[in-house]
Structure 1
């Protein structure tokens, strides 16, 4: 194999993981910013930065009621640690695209171990939260 071809393959293999990491890093940054808005009670801000996949079925008030009900007895966030990231190109009931499923182990004031799953969706170059689940 010519040296030029080997160099091209080596360059591709070295840059692909860094591009994937950059996408994951950007998706996580969007998820954490959204969670910070939710944690501080800024539901309107969280709703504004959400994906249309989340905004279309929910008004800002419905988002507040839904998440408020799910987290009502938890208290304030004490810590949050990412435990996994899974990349997908499709999600149930959603259009094909680039999704990241981030799972966080979160410690709340009244609940020491809650799993939060948040799903950002890449839309026109910007990661926007399209789903949030707690258990």
Structure 2
């Protein structure tokens, strides 16, 4: 479990460098927000393997399905159930620390769980003509 905690910490540190910046302003109708909510709903419902399946190839290369499951089981235990989630920031970036240059949609949510209120950061990219998750961070 310590290895998984370290892996999650590394991902947070890599992506943390750009998280403090305000995202490029993009009108909500210009962004496809529904896939972000749909992917997060898989996690909310405990469908961790499905969330891994619907992630990008880059995501899958960095964490296997069983590790992803273990990370989320641990996170769910400390957070509790989702109470509310509100989109608090969004934008499009062509560079993200730790990722190759590309076209990334970045979504930040203020989320309340039964045990904690925090920010969730979801980074997605278009792969095979679908938006796929590249990174998911809890801050």
Scaled by the length of structure 1, the TM-score of the pair is 0.76
2:77 aligned counterpart, secondary structure: coil
Tell me which structure has the larger Cα radius of gyration.
1
- Measured against aligned partners, the alpha-carbon deviations of 1:29-53 in whole angstroms (never above 9, x if no partner) come to 1111111111111111101100111
Q: Return structure 1 stretches of 4+ with deviation > 6 angstroms.
A: none
Q: How big is the alpha-carbon RMSD for the aligned residues of Structure 1 and Structure 2?
A: 1.8
TM superposition shift of 1:68: 2.5
In 2, distance between residues paired with 1:114 and 1:96? Answer: 28
Structure 1 regions of 5+ residues with no counterpart? Answer: 1-16
CA distance in structure 2 between the aligned counterparts of 1:85 and 1:43, rounded to whole angstroms = 24
Q: Where does residue 21 of structure 1 map in the other structure?
A: 29
For 1:55 and 1:31, locate their aligned partners in 2 and report how far apart those are by CA, in whole Å: 17
Gaps of 5+ in 2: 1-25
Distance 1:41 1:60 in 2: 13
Instruction: Tell me the number of residue pairs that the alignment of Structure 1 and Structure 2 aligns.
Output: 114
Pair 1:39-2:47 in alignment = no
Answer yes or no: is 1:129 the counterpart of 2:129: no
Which segment drifts farther, 40-49 or 88-97?
88-97
Tell me the residue number matched to 1:12.
Answer: none
